[in-house]
Structure 1
């Protein structure tokens, strides 16, 4: 499995590095425009970024969004290529189980998405240090204050978001494998996406129903379990949500909602591994 992961990384690192380079260039343009606007505000000139500068600012933001979207489709697309193209013969004849093949692809995908995020954050922090010079100490103090503000609510959102992202990746891989098995050797481009939309909707409905039926919530702040009637929620909150917020924006995780999310992810993972190992015709 480790060798297969190395093979996956070796086959995609050049593309990921290219995406990172594009995003960093776009981030540089955005920071330069922001710095220019700050200087205008400090001098009291009342000037705003207009014309070509504003155009480049918007284009840079679109480039970053497009780069992340391209990276996403490239990463998940490598699995689809192995299902329909000749490279699949090599992959599916390796002495690896379907679960190991899928696990390797999932881990590599998480590594690349994490690399993209971390590299952008670190680059922008370092570039800000160079760009703002003497003002950097104030910027550092702002970051420290922001870190102090990170509490159980941020942690709760991070946990649920991470689990949801992993489930989404697994459902995408499951949809691709299921479409390959369903149509055999026929290549129907958008079928996997239709299957994914259906599976994603059913999963969301199941999690919502479970969360609403068993409204027990965990607070990571006190590690206590509460029933819904013990909590004061924001006015627009429904019991079917996996994570909810109280009146003080305290986050509470629906225990059984998260458990259903994990069960769906494990079930889809194991089923995809089975399809890869037993049902894919080379």
Structure 2
């Protein structure tokens, strides 16, 4: 049954997201053609006014491009949340909850689809950036950066840096795929308990819990002397202190993800409210 749920959830969200990411890639190709035109040296034969116009157009394009990437990332997350909220707690929810499937499978179906699209989103953004900047003239610099990045993970810059980058990467993955995904589902479940303004309740819950988490993280940094900003400003953080700090963040993200998952399952199992 989980396979059927995944298939349904995937189809219900993918069309619009495919169109949005397709637009991003088309916009990227337009920019690549413009940059290739500029690098070809055609601008050397242009009059000054035309060259100036080209520079203004390039600057405007980059500005819109950055905004577009940010909008795509946010839109993907928001659209998934809206679509899943409707599937679970709107009129559509009456049909969803009559299916012979457990709340656990409902949650896993939503999470797996969300993870897949978050991953696709990241890949599209990375491919888009590379398409825009990777030319013969820039390949050397980009290659050097890539080799340095790989060297850090393979221990080329020391074991401390390697461990730090691994912990940092795991922390970012836990935050994006674990913390924020389960928080969104948990917020929707809590929002459904409101008698009115359920969507507003979910939004307030999401930002409220996120704010509380940020406050706890900040307090933790000041409470633990080794992680205090005062220590950082005076002596700097050692490699082990940095690793300890981000290990703590990683643990917090994982623990919160489990709590949000269990909380969502409890509400869907015991406190479901579709009114």
* TM-score bucket of the superposed structures, by smaller chain: 0.7 to 0.9
Task: For residue 12 of structure 2, give the secondary structure of its aligned residue in structure 1.
Answer: helix
Q: Figure out how many residues of one structure are paired with residues of the other and give that number.
A: 257
8 A contact 1:92–1:276 mirrored in 2: no
Q: 2:165 aligns with which of 135, 154, 170?
A: 154
CA distance in 2, matches of 1:107, 1:169: 10
CA distance in 2, matches of 1:263, 1:202: 15
Structure 1 residue 3 displacement after superposition: 2.0
Task: For residue 95 of structure 1, give the secondary structure of its aligned residue in structure 2.
Answer: coil
Q: 1:58 to 1:134 in 2, by over 3 A?
A: closer
Task: Indicate the residue corresponding to 1:246 in structure 2.
Answer: 237
Query: What's the TM-score once normalised by structure 1's chain length?
Result: 0.74
Structure 1 residue 196 displacement after superposition: 1.7
Higher mean displacement: 174-183 or 149-158: 149-158
Cα-Cα RMSD: 3.6
Task: Indicate the residue corresponding to 1:205 in structure 2.
Answer: 215
Query: What's the TM-score once normalised by structure 2's chain length?
Result: 0.76
8 A contact 1:83–1:180 mirrored in 2: no
Task: Note if 1:51 corresponds to 2:50.
Answer: no
1:213-232 alignment, distance < 5 Å: 215=224, 228=226
Task: Indicate the residue corresponding to 1:82 in structure 2.
Answer: 87
CA distance in 2, matches of 1:139, 1:257: 31
CA distance in 2, matches of 1:272, 1:162: 21
8 A contact 1:22–1:67 mirrored in 2: no
Bigger share in strand: 1
Structure 2, gaps ≥5 residues long: 154-161
Bigger share in helix: 2
Q: 2:96 aligns with which of 66, 77, 91?
A: 91
8 A contact 1:210–1:257 mirrored in 2: no
8 A contact 1:8–1:108 mirrored in 2: yes
Task: Note if 1:65 corresponds to 2:76.
Answer: no
Q: 1:197 to 1:122 in 2, by over 3 A?
A: closer
Residues 234-276 of structure 1: CA deviation (Å, up to 9, x unaligned): 3289xxxxxxx83679841334553333222211211111111
Structure 1, gaps ≥5 residues long: 216-226, 238-244
Higher mean displacement: 7-16 or 253-262: 253-262
